[in-house]
Chains A and B, each alone.
Chain A
Amino acid sequence: MTAKVLLAIWMAIIIAAAFLYTEAASGFPGETSRILFFHVPQAWVATLAFLLSMIASAVYLAKRRVTADDLALSAAELGFLFCVLATVTGSIFAKATWGSFWNWDPRETSIVILLMIYGAYFALRSAVPDPEKKRVFAGVYAILAFITVPFLVFVVPRITASLHPEDTMNPANPGMDPKTLKVFLGSLFAYTALFVWMLRLRMRILRLEEMREEERRRQI
């Protein structure tokens, strides 16, 4: 209970600090750099969620413990959510900074592919009615998707760098002054904590649904 409240307060502090405490970074038009306090942690959580989902899938395939699949699913759902957020905030930033919503630079491309992977994952899960099979298939797909990621990371920059000669700037690490750094790290922590909190909540819901299933079976 208290953890929830503390998290909410922390998040509020971060949001306030992002606008009031820090100064807008130079080299970016106007106040646009502030979005990075939100955009980067969102992207970070989206990728973390993907990694978590893949590991949980591997554990499920090895041990067949349903909690592992619950974790994989919950992480995927939240990862998708944060992925959408990251895409939207990134797009807003792109519009403000470079004048267009979408540029297909390496990062934007990767985030779209990640969105497609999540979408495919959910589509697969809903297309398989048998619960055990659904979990196995989803787990296999998560792993397959994950192993194509190194190719994506390695290959895409080679390609798009030449597609768009004006090298799009990587906004992840502009030189940060101490105040900005503090708020940035604070935001990173806040988003991760938010993710973990939502993850546990979602897993609890899944677990309750399973318990209800088992109860129904026992009554037969």
Chain B
Amino acid sequence: MSACSLKVSELCKYYSSTLLFKDISFELGPGEILGITGWNGSGKSTLLRIIAGLVRPSAGQVEMFYEDEPIPKESRRKFLGMVAPALALYEELTALENMEFFCRVRGVSYDRKNCLHIMERVGLTEHAHKMFRNYSSGMKQRLKLVQALLHEPPLLLLDEPGCNLDSKGIRIVEEITSAQRRFGMTVIASNEKREVDYADRVINLSE
């Protein structure tokens, strides 16, 4: 089990004068799954982006710890993998080329077999050499999952992971989430009840 934990304190986000959410606090430890629900536009995606370090909160803090040592903000990316509707991969590259790029740019050694193994988990092996541009939306979503898992992150941030997926795809997400439970933490943002059903706790942003 990865010795990684997440602590969020009194997070608050405004866009101009519009309040998105405030006073969001929670702690997450290895093996735990947190669900985030709320109406469309309630800030679920923004909250995940703040945890990922892509957006600055208006107030509050996000802290991650590895073996009880705080992780500096610049290094946070090494400890997390993210899937979100707004995230896209490179259209003119094949799936494998995309994965090779992400390995190299993250400074993780590119292991073709390992990549193909992860792609197998999501059922994309036959499409490994197809251009991302030619993927269906369901396939794209599954490849995004691969991208998030490439470097075995202790924290998985899943923003509407079931988006565009058929029932088979949704089962794959469930399998990934339970595998992650054995290894680290997961935060799932979704309006789908079944997706947040396996969460240990749920935070509703619309309250």
Whether the pair A213, B17 counts as a contact (CB closer than 8 A) is: yes
- Tell me, yes or no, whether A216 is within 8 Å of chain B by CB: yes
Find chain A residues with CB under 8 A from B19 CB: 217, 220
- Tell me, yes or no, whether A23 is within 8 Å of chain B by CB: no
For residue B21, give the distance in angstroms from its CB to the closest CB of chain A: 11
Find chain B residues with CB under 8 A from A131 CB: 16
Find chain B residues with CB under 8 A from A132 CB: 56
A166 to B18, CA, bound (A): 61
Interface residues of B in 7-21 (CB under 8 A from A): 14, 16-19
Find chain B residues with CB under 8 A from A220 CB: 17-19
For residue A83, give the distance in angstroms from its CB to the closest CB of chain B: 31
| Contacts across chains A and B counted by CB atoms under 8 Å | 11
Find chain B residues with CB under 8 A from A213 CB: 16-17
Say whether chain A's binding surface is mostly helix, strand, loop, or mixed: helix
Find chain B residues with CB under 8 A from A216 CB: 17
For residue A66, give the distance in angstroms from its CB to the closest CB of chain B: 13
For B118-150 the 0/1 string (1 means CB < 8 A from A) is 000000000000000000000000000000000
Find chain A residues with CB under 8 A from B18 CB: 220
With both beta carbons as reference points, the residue of chain B lying nearest to A130 in the complex is identified as B15
Whether the pair A217, B56 counts as a contact (CB closer than 8 A) is: no
Most chain B CB inside 10 Å of its own CB: which residue of A132, A213, A216, A217: A217
With both beta carbons as reference points, the residue of chain A lying nearest to B17 in the complex is identified as A216
For residue B206, give the distance in angstroms from its CB to the closest CB of chain A: 15
A131 to B56, CA, bound (A): 12
Extra contacts, 6 of them, besides A213-B16, A216-B17 (Cβ < 8 A), are: A213-B17, A217-B14, A217-B17, A220-B17, A220-B18, A220-B19
Interface residues of B (CB under 8 A from A): 14, 16-19, 56
